[in-house]
Structure 1
């Protein structure tokens, strides 16, 4: 087998991290162009693209450690961007409100999720806590949309991002 044949040997699902990363970047680059023409929001389209290339779609990629790593890096990047645009003076002024908001948006879903899991669905204690944790966690996934519309300087957005 020549080097060229070895380089271009492709088996599905993809296992080569460089090839996986290249396919993901290709989708991230060209999906928004196609989605603009179809009048579909970018985030929805990227979710659909992920479902199509995943194990339950065309089985081009598996959710392995490299995919998890890329997702974590992407989430950390979004959080970093949010941190860059936070006004420290507004953050100090709204710190108590942000703290209350953060506690409420964690404790309320955590409590409801635990009660639903333990008493309504009759799950074990640990399963109920895990279920509640799923509901209580939230990410800044909508931050790019807020930034696109120019509302990140809004006081409510500042409280939400800092909470």
Structure 2
């Protein structure tokens, strides 16, 4: 583990999945502190409110609470990372299809933050196909999501689906 290195793991986490949790676990083995940065998501229509996403993420990372914190951000990720003293940005890669976008994003971030490294982590094989988008769609159509999210997130999804009248 790198000594006293702060890493930021940004995303919308709408909702946080077991794949995200696995990436957090892996990041804690490499960095002394990991900040899960939940984006306000101005460019995406989120199913869950920012507050709900933060609460779910905090519950999900409780096993690592000595090393991991959860915070929200809006605006440029660069400003958030620099303000927190981040030296690494963690990005999860599920498949080769993610790589092209993530590679371009890493290049842009390097231009904006030359002193911050982007580190790509892959989740365990059993989580590589999971995406928040798939999980939301399955839940909205009445499917089971317990294999893809923690029990707390599963409950939150069920409640959200009920509140939208889609059970």
Q: Same fold per TM (> 0.5)?
A: no
Whichever structure has more helix as a proportion of its residues is 1
**TM-score, normalising length: structure 1:** 0.25
**TM-score, normalising length: structure 2:** 0.25
Quick check: which has more Rg, 1 or 2? 1
Greater length-normalized contact order (CA 8 Å, ≥ 6 residues apart): 2
